Structure formats: C-alpha cells, structure tokens
C-alpha cells in the first residue's frame, strides 16, 4: 500500500523552463549538453527506471535512461583534467552538494568560452541577412537574449566505453524525503 509520503510527484525535464540541459558525469569525466526539447522528444525511446536514496524505503525518483547520442544535437564535452580535480565531485556527497559543484563547473566553462551556447539566425521583416561577412569578420545576431540551462549531476551517466552506464538519466518524478534543496 502506497502512502502519501511515498508518492512520487511529477518533477523533472517535462516541468523545466530550460533551453539546454547539461549532464555533468564525473565517472566518465564528460559533460553532455543538449536542447531540453530534444531530451523530451526521446523520453519514450528510453528505459523507464526508478531511483533510490540510501536509508529510504521505496523509490525516490523515476525517469528514463536514454543513450546520450540518441538525443538529437547532444554533444559530449571533454574538459581539462584539472577542472575535474579542482571540483572534487564525490559520489558520497549529498545530492545538493553534487548539484552545486556541477553548476560551478558549468559556470566556469561558460566563463572560459568552452560551453556550447546555441546561436541561430534572426531574419528580419526586410529579409536582410542575419549573418554578414565583411572582410575577415563574421557578424551573427543571436536568437535568444537569455538562455536557461538546467544542470544535472548524473554521476554514473555517460558512454559505456568510458566507464559509464551508457545512458543519461532524464528524471520525470521524485519525492524528497530528506528535504534537500
């Protein structure tokens, strides 16, 4: 018999207002980045999986395991070993701490200019070019003023050949018995 305290609530990729997702996968030392809508599009192709936390009876999450490159436009970023060593992600840390460290890593990548931010072209009403080439310079007008990025620490995730599970975990429901932020 399921009690209300064991009930999973719809909370995950389908509720986000993000444009991009970044799955930080420490075991394989890769960050997988993809448009959120592309992850949503392949959920039904994934393997439904329950998540658990130590010390808690019953599932604390549900979602889908999806192969990284089954997600259209998913890219794998390999970053400097020193960056991984400096962030010191530990599988025994709380979900909150791992998440904060994953965010710090992505922010550092953005600041260093090595995080793939989407650029697109705007075509104005006069059908002027939105990409201009003048001499050796290229001028691009971006599509969005603000890009929302959802960062997930997907500790065992990533390519099997690199030591990961072979999947990324796209969560769709959870419960939070320890009241983590």
Read off the pLDDT of residues 87-113 as tens digits, 9 standing for 90 and up. Answer: 999 999 988 899 999 999 999 998 888
Cβ partners under 8 Å of residue 38, min gap 6: 71, 72, 73, 74
The arrangement of strands across the sheet holding 20-25 comes to: 75-77, 30-35, 20-25, 149-153
pLDDT of residue 1: 42
pLDDT at res. 62: 95
More confident residue, 96 or 131: 96
Give the pLDDT of residue 126. 44
Classify each residue of 10-41 as buried b or exposed e, where b means 16 or more C-beta atoms within 10 Å of its C-beta.
eebbeeeebbbbbbbbbbbbbbbbbbbeebbe
Find the mean pLDDT for residues 141-153: 78
State pLDDT tens for residues 2-31. Answer: 455 678 999 999 999 999 999 999 999 999
pLDDT interval class at 118 (50, 70, 90): confident
Percent of the chain predicted with pLDDT > 90: 57
Q: How confident is the model at residue 136 (pLDDT cuts 50, 70, 90)?
A: low
Give this prediction's pTM.
0.84
The 3-state secondary structure of 121-133, one letter per residue = CCCCCCCCCCEEE
Whether the predicted pLDDT of 155 surpasses 80: yes
pLDDT category of residue 120 using cuts at 50, 70 and 90:
low
End-to-end CA distance of the chain: 28
Specify whether the CB–CB gap between 123 and 140 falls below 8 A: no
Does residue 138 carry a pLDDT above 80?
no
């Amino acid at each position: 018999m399921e009690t209300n305290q064991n009930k999973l609530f719809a909370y995950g990729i389908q509720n986000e207002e993000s444009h991009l997702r970044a799955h930080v996968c420490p075991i394989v030392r890769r960050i997988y980045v993809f448009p959120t809508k592309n992850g949503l599009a392949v959920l039904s192709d994934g393997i439904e999986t329950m998540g658990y936390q130590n010390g808690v009876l019953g599932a604390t999450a549900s979602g889908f395991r999806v192969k990284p490159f089954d997600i259209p436009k998913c890219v794998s970023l390999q970053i400097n070993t020193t960056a991984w060593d400096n962030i010191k992600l530990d599988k025994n840390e709380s979900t909150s701490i791992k998440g904060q460290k994953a965010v710090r890593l992505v922010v550092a990548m953005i600041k260093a200019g090595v995080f793939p931010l989407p650029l697109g072209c705007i075509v104005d009403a006069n059908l002027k070019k939105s990409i201009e080439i003048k001499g050796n310079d290229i001028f691009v007008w971006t599509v969005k003023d603000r890009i929302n990025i959802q960062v997930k620490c997907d500790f065992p995730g990533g390519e099997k050949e690199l030591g990961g599970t072979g999947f990324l975990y796209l969560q769709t429901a959870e419960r939070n018995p320890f009241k983590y932020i």
